[in-house]
Structure 1
Amino acid sequence: MKTTQSLYDAVLQQMQSGNLTTNTTLQEPWDYPAIYKTGRTFYAYFTPIILIVGFVGNTLSFNVFISKGMRGLSASVYLAALSATDLVTLLCYVMVEWLRRGIVYLQPDWKVSFVDTDYLCQFQMYTSYVSRMSSVWLVVAFTVERYIGVCHPLRRIDICSVSSARKIVVFIFLSSMILVLYKPFLSGVFVSASGDKFCTTYPTYSFISFVLDSIYGLLITLVPLTIISMMNFLIINRLFARKRKQKKTRILSEEALMRLEFTSILLVISFCFVAFNIPFLVMWIRNFFFSKHITNPINDSMYDVESWQGWLYITRTIFYANYCINFFLYSITGAYFRRGLKAMFCKDNRGLLRAHSTLTRYNSHSHTNHSWV
């Protein structure tokens, strides 16, 4: 729910090491453009809110989806895994980056340096890459699962099962771990001229890291955005077609209502995912073409560089919302999620048993006339 270091970190490191095409000297802090100050302030103050809300919301969501009343549904497998992955991303990526660049903006004396040490640097970078890729492709997998359930109902009983969902989740995690193995081997801790430590790519492997990070960026932005958008269009189109055919039949079974609810959750999650990713994707495309590996050196004022960095902070913070908003989306669109959440706090065993009974019927009667949802 989720982007790449090449979208922000590599660009910021390029700014620090001179990889961006500019030949001017740094400005004094008071000369920075207004958008830079606004962006850094927005990032510094809102990221902690995202962290707190995300930790609480994802923890609650995870517990609801693995509860007895919900875990019997394949969609719950994806959403529980998504909640767990978002927790890891918040801890190993969002919080670490805020400690590096957010807290120091609010209190310069509070600079945190323990995250920029050998081994911890590589581990954090690897974990953040794995969790972000896993988070994105879990949304894609859930979208495909809902697409099959809506558009190919006869195949749903064979494909959209709990066991299949678990296998797909494991496959996504293992694939992510393998695909980003390059990152820790190409990265390390370096000391700047001012004595500050920062975790970044080895200069020797600058170009290969740029290429691999660019591929990684496409795999967690443009590619999944395209798949999700296409699947959502087909799902919505089929739902409207079914609605027109069944205008006279307004009574739906509880099983059908649950499938419709998870479809609604998927649509809301994926639309928010697209909306929060597009601004960051635009910044990535812009910074990609202004990288030293793409563009020849040109006269570009530091004022312009800092302005774009300000926008980068803003879009990055908006992107972070992906990791904390899902709990609210579940609560707004999911009556069964709210029932499970209430049962978890109120010890409503009858509610849990009722939901569990519904899921049992849902899994055993998936060939009913309502299976299109």
Structure 2
Amino acid sequence: MAEICHHNIYLQMDQQLDYFPFPDLRPAKWGWWIKVCITPAIVLVGIIGNCLSFAVMKSRNLRKKSYSHFLCALAVFDSLTLIGRQVTLVDDMYHNLGVENKGVFYHFNDAACKTYNFLEHMCYLMSSWLIVCMAAERVVAVCRPFKKSVLRTQTGAVAIIFSLFVILSYTQVFRFIMIGSYMNTCQATQTFLQLYVNLHIYLYQFTLIFILPFLLVFIFNTMVLYQIYRVRREASGDSRSRVVARTHKTTFMLLAISTIYIITMLPLVVISISAHFALHSSKPMLEVQVLLMRIQPWHDLLSVVSFVNYGINFFIYVVSGQSFRFELRRMIFSKERHISTSGTRTREEVMKLQ
């Protein structure tokens, strides 16, 4: 998300560092080393957790829930995002270590660069907007718990996920036109460079990644929390209130997902926006370069924090989701019983053969 935007900013800065008169003030490497050491662990744990989440959400008792479709899609796109982050990190390591004629994208042609760039950014967008959809689904579930709506049906959830992918894909078509293989790496061609940077930063980064998702998630969560407070204050001991209480348990789990999304992503977005405006300010270039170099290690650290967003959902489900914990235990123990039973039958068959 903000990582990609900030990467473009520092790419512009790196071109200026060749003429920078103070080599002692070059960016500190402690943030980069933190990213190199911690990112693979986050990627590994996150992918395993997302696979477990997908398996549990597809279990017999949960797969008919509308929100399970959103969570399964989120697990898929979060995993793809983590894989993309690791691929980009490996490519950055080649460049930072000064390895010539090497890199993940070194042998990519124009078609491969266009496809990879498009899919990478689509995974970011889908991860963000699926959280928006879940926040909207919780508003409907809490405010109108006894009425059916498109968001709260299986068919409706699948249709919304598909429609979301189509709409977001349309906003990223410009990547197929402007991205290519240039100087052995995937980036915008010189003809479209300025237009691409503007579309990437202002349409993709500021609008689709930052302003709209954060604003909508915040508004939806506020509405949900207010409704829960109002219902609990007026709650009685009838059956309707017990149904609402069960809805609230699921709601708190999904609220935790969107809250973690804001907490982990907001610092990186803020520092990326600050770096962007500093680079385009009227301050002397030398002063801007010094500021950006001081920010860069903190950006690397916050990018690691942002990666947590794509691998922490499984642990949120375990802590806050009672139904998820029950299905996870049932899935694990049923497999253990199956293995134990299969082992017993095998031994009995062996005894009969003797």
Normalized against structure 1, the TM-score is what? 0.81
Displacement after TM superposition at 1:109 (Å): 5.4
Instruction: Go from structure 1 to structure 2 and tell me whether the alpha carbon gap of 1:245 and 1:206 turns closer, same or farther (over 3 Å shift).
Output: same
Please state if 1:125 is matched with 2:114: no
Gaps of 5+ in 2: 337-354
RMSD of aligned alpha carbons: 2.7
Partner of 1:95: 86
Letter in 1 for 2:82: L
Please state if 1:231 is matched with 2:250: no
| 1:8 partner SS | helix
| 1:347 partner SS | helix
Partners of 1:100 and 1:23 lie apart in 2 by: 21
Partners of 1:220 and 1:240 lie apart in 2 by: 30
* Aligned counterpart for 1:78 among listed residues 52, 70, 76: 70
Displacement after TM superposition at 1:104 (Å): 6.0
Instruction: Go from structure 1 to structure 2 and tell me whether the alpha carbon gap of 1:159 and 1:123 turns closer, same or farther (over 3 Å shift).
Output: closer
Partner of 2:297: 310
Partners of 2:44 and 2:95 lie apart in 1 by: 19
Report if aligned partners of 1:187, 1:199 keep a CA contact under 8 Å in 2. Answer: yes
Task: Specify which structure has the bigger relative contact order, considering alpha-carbon pairs within 8 angstroms and separated by 6 or more residues.
Answer: 1
Please state if 1:142 is matched with 2:140: no
Report if aligned partners of 2:69, 2:158 keep a CA contact under 8 Å in 1. Answer: yes
Partner of 2:10: 12
Displacement after TM superposition at 1:152 (Å): 2.9
Farther-moved stretch of structure 1 (236-245 vs 7-16): 7-16
Partner of 1:280: 268
* Aligned counterpart for 1:163 among listed residues 155, 158, 178: 155
Report if aligned partners of 1:280, 1:319 keep a CA contact under 8 Å in 2. Answer: yes
Q: 1:170-220: per-residue Cα shift (whole Å, max 9, x none)?
A: 1111112221111132122332xxxxx332221221221122112111211
* Aligned counterpart for 1:151 among listed residues 138, 143, 156: 143
Partners of 2:286 and 2:335 lie apart in 1 by: 63
| 2:61 partner SS | coil
Displacement after TM superposition at 1:64 (Å): 1.0
Displacement after TM superposition at 1:158 (Å): 5.3
Partner of 1:51: 43
* Aligned counterpart for 1:114 among listed residues 86, 104, 116: 104
Normalized against structure 2, the TM-score is what? 0.85
Letter in 1 for 2:127: S
Q: 1:248-277: per-residue Cα shift (whole Å, max 9, x none)?
A: 569964x55542232011110111111111
Partners of 1:26 and 1:317 lie apart in 2 by: 31
| 2:309 partner SS | helix
Instruction: Go from structure 1 to structure 2 and tell me whether the alpha carbon gap of 1:103 and 1:190 turns closer, same or farther (over 3 Å shift).
Output: closer
Report if aligned partners of 1:70, 1:76 keep a CA contact under 8 Å in 2. Answer: yes
Instruction: Go from structure 1 to structure 2 and tell me whether the alpha carbon gap of 1:337 and 1:26 turns closer, same or farther (over 3 Å shift).
Output: farther
Partners of 1:266 and 1:169 lie apart in 2 by: 17
Displacement after TM superposition at 1:23 (Å): 9.5
The number of aligned residues is 332
| 2:305 partner SS | helix
Displacement after TM superposition at 1:156 (Å): 3.7
* Aligned counterpart for 1:180 among listed residues 172, 182, 186: 172
Please state if 1:332 is matched with 2:319: yes
| 1:189 partner SS | strand
Identity in percent: 22
Gaps of 5+ in 1: 192-196, 350-373
Please state if 1:240 is matched with 2:229: yes
| 2:104 partner SS | coil
Q: 1:12-35: per-residue Cα shift (whole Å, max 9, x none)?
A: 2222344xxx8951754x6535xx
Report if aligned partners of 1:65, 1:76 keep a CA contact under 8 Å in 2. Answer: yes
| 1:267 partner SS | helix
Letter in 1 for 2:89: W
Report if aligned partners of 2:87, 2:104 keep a CA contact under 8 Å in 1. Answer: no
Instruction: Go from structure 1 to structure 2 and tell me whether the alpha carbon gap of 1:6 and 1:212 turns closer, same or farther (over 3 Å shift).
Output: farther
Please say which structure displays the higher CA radius of gyration.
Answer: 2
Report if aligned partners of 2:66, 2:153 keep a CA contact under 8 Å in 1. Answer: yes
Letter in 1 for 2:173: L
Displacement after TM superposition at 1:288 (Å): 2.5
Report if aligned partners of 2:142, 2:227 keep a CA contact under 8 Å in 1. Answer: yes
